[in-house]
Structure 1
Amino acid sequence: MDGVYISAVACRLSEELTGRTCSRVTRPFAGGLGLSIGGRMLLLDARPPSPAAWLGDDGADDGDPAPQPWSDGLAGTRLEEVRQEGLDRILVFEFSRVRRYCNPLMRLIFEMTGRNCNLILADSGSRILACTRIVSRSMSRVRTVRPGETYEGPPSSGAGLGSWREDRVLEALGKATSPEEIHPLLEGVGPATAGAILEESRASGRKVPEVVAVLGSALESREFAPWASVHGPMPIRLGEGAPIADVLSPPSGGGPAGACRKAAVEILEARRAFLERKLEKLRSVLDGVPSEDLLRLRGAILLANIPRVPRGAEEVVLPDWDGMEHRIPLRPGRSAVENAQRYFRKARNAAVERSRLESSIRETRAAIGELDAALAGGSGQCRIDRLAGAVGATRGAEARSPAGRAMGGGWTCLVGRSARENDEITFRIAGRDDIWLHARGAAGAHVVLRHESRGQTPPRAVLEAAAALAAASVRNRPDVVPVDYTKVRYVRKFRGAGPGEVVYTGEKTLFVRLCSARRGGARPGEAK
């Protein structure tokens, strides 16, 4: 949705919620936030590319409690103001807290900017406390968004509402014949609104500047008549379409519960697509497995014709017991018996591989069938939620971490308990900017230190505690264990590496002193 339509959304939110208290904060789905305000549930959906805000009835199925920065910052506050930044696609919710020992003002900023949408929590000094999406310098040359930094909004484009009547703007609008010529001129007007303006101009016979003037007057007076045009939602009637009863109406499916169901269905559909790709790959690999009967036959023919197999030959043509000739590739450096044994060994391996692949294909087909039944409506909402939760548990980093330990301050430590778990937390769960730790030159656990808001720098105490976990996993450890740490992006597998075997670069080292009296369960001591 464009900025001009968000003006209508901001106006309705202000009318409905200003002056009411936020009693709790939930996370109904990944990328979303639920605010229980005055007995209503405000859902902010920051999932790209279609962010949305809607208002529904407060209920018990509105998701899990939000993480600490969000709940601590907003729960128990009073919503003082809802405003839009100019005509940008940004909603700002200002909350105040009565308790004196807390920050008197909190700002929740909803950047409804398509694929770059974000939810940001900032204090009265514009210091970012939390966000759903971190923006690094490599992602944007204009600004960065991460907890601890000062918030800066995205740059606006086009003339502000107060400049729409300027001669230079009116002259440019009078010459415009396509949406691409209109939307860069006016703040809050995107390609959708620009297309609707042109359609309204052609249908009504009015010039483009006249249609824009009507739109500007509605925005200034805040007299909206929301309209669902063929181009998208509009704050007033523009082009063909139908009226919108309420800009805050929940999507079809029913408010928070509908949003949760939609998120669950999206998870299941993504999982089904993944399983289809997996099934196709398994079938392709199965087709490439050589026939174990043919391999055994070649081995038996070689043993029956040992004198006829010259040493050093790369292949040989020999008849079977029915007189049919077979061209058999050989290893030149091996004898006829050794080549025969190689074929028998390959036959055994092929049989095991075929059995494994066929079992995986059956399991994958069964999983696809279960998902199809749920998506087709053969299962209730509880069934869909359970399946989506199971899928999330297999692919979500937090849910599937082999051994997660809360370290305080939003930090979590993942500890591998086996070589395969080491690979899983390092290469499947950890983010590229998470901190990876391992005892230098010793077999032990991979430890990954991560924050609920990615890209954070761990406090010294948290880093030392994680290093102590890595040191404690080493067998026959000395009293002082050197522990290397680096970012996960600098950890990789090498050719021929087994499970848990890696190489890494860019490391720094902590020297962890462990209690020598407790060899079975060392505790962290001094880190240097």
Structure 2
Amino acid sequence: MEGLLIHAVVRGLAGRLPLRSLGWAFPDEGTAALLLEGLGNLLLRYRPPHPLLALEADRVVGEAKTPFQRLLEARCKGRLLKIEQLKLDRVVFLQFEGEKGFVDTAPTRLVFELTGRNANLMVCDLEGRIIGIDRPVTPAINRYRELRSGLFYTPPPPYHKLDPRTLQEDELKPFVGQPLAQLIKNLDGVGKALGAELCRRAHLSPETRLSHEHLPLIHRVIHSLVEQPSLQTTPPDLQAAWAQEEAEALRKPLREALQRQMRTLQARLEDAHNALERLEEAQRLRGWGDLLMAYGHQLPPGRKATLEDFSGQMVEIPLEAGLSPIQNASRFYARAKRLEANAERALEQIPALEAQIAGLKQELAWLEQRSRQELQALGRKSREKGPQVGLRLVSPSGLEVWVGRNSKENDLLTRMAHSEDLWFHAQGLPGSHVILRTQGRPAPLPDLLYAAQLAAHHSKARGEKNVPVDYTAKKHVWRPRKAAPGQVLYTQAKTLFVDAELPPS
């Protein structure tokens, strides 16, 4: 039971006190009901995990069933003089006047802790010494305090939160820019249910970041919650909006991580295309080197040379001072060689980079379609598994596809796969291990062809037609003893013939 709900009961009862007690009733071993003259029953359900303090008009009956209930009935007598709450915490104090008689009953103080699984009820004297307690608390249970008969009562650990009863609008300013949920955590007496009610009344979600314009509304809603902390069912449309905002909050970091990878790959792809474009520069440098080797002995010293090339055109060649024409020619040849090597690497890199970018685009599209529950599961898996290994793609029917990019990733992905996942590899050629994550479910033919094309494309057969690709369940794939990572043997394979091209996204 939350602090503000307790406060509403305490406030409603405190204005009518003192009231004469007509005795106790005990409907079960964890519930006591105090019958108050002209008001009804004050119900105290003190056993975990769902304690309750409430006023009920219905008649409650039952004899004391435990030693503590018998002590409570015997010691808490006379008029109920006072009821107080510790701040807005889930701790309530009830003070009884006691009775005069053949044997006087001394005034007592009943302490009711409505603290969930630690709920408890105890009878104390007016000095705070515990006379009887329902569930003693030992140091083995709680390191902060010990509660048992004979000791003085120690309240729960102190805390510092905003008191919604006296809250001023200026006190909300430090929460500007933070989610509404952060403010709710700092409101005394407001828990999960009342926090949801606060959001419902404000027509905001817990993830809404507060602005200065929100503060007057939030201030009014908090005070309305203090005055009437009743709970209402959250409307379906608001529940849907909250679910959507929560899904977006989960999706955002995953999307940003994919976008960062995509920006990195696109920058590398741009560099590769630039390397190809500089092939013309490499040809020009080689031409200059050839001219200097042919006519260098005729050149006078200087910063440039003007020579007629082999087609009859005049060419101006910049020279580095202090170097002979032959040395300048060697420099031009070396630069041309580097540019040509870069272009050759770019030719190999561009298809792989384009495939990776296409895969990331597929992942982004797949991510945008995931539900809140799927995103939560995805976040848990990513935290458990750590950095992603290999390319992660999605088949036409929505199955996950893993593609190894090197021998180490091939080895890791194959070991990570479920025993009933399907494993693909270009027949008899070096290439990627491709895993179709079926986990034993039947795979549609388009998914089989999709995975086979990926295996063919990421192999030495790239660009060829009618490439044989073997596939089998992962449980039929094994790495021989002392074999290098990625080297495997397999049995019970079937073969598909596909073009070694990147499948359409």
Q: Do both proteins adopt the same fold according to a TM-score greater than 0.5, normalized to the shorter chain?
A: no
Structure (1 or 2) with the larger CA radius of gyration: 2
- Smaller-chain TM-score bracket: 0.3 to 0.5
Question: Going by fraction, where is strand more abundant, 1 or 2?
Answer: 1
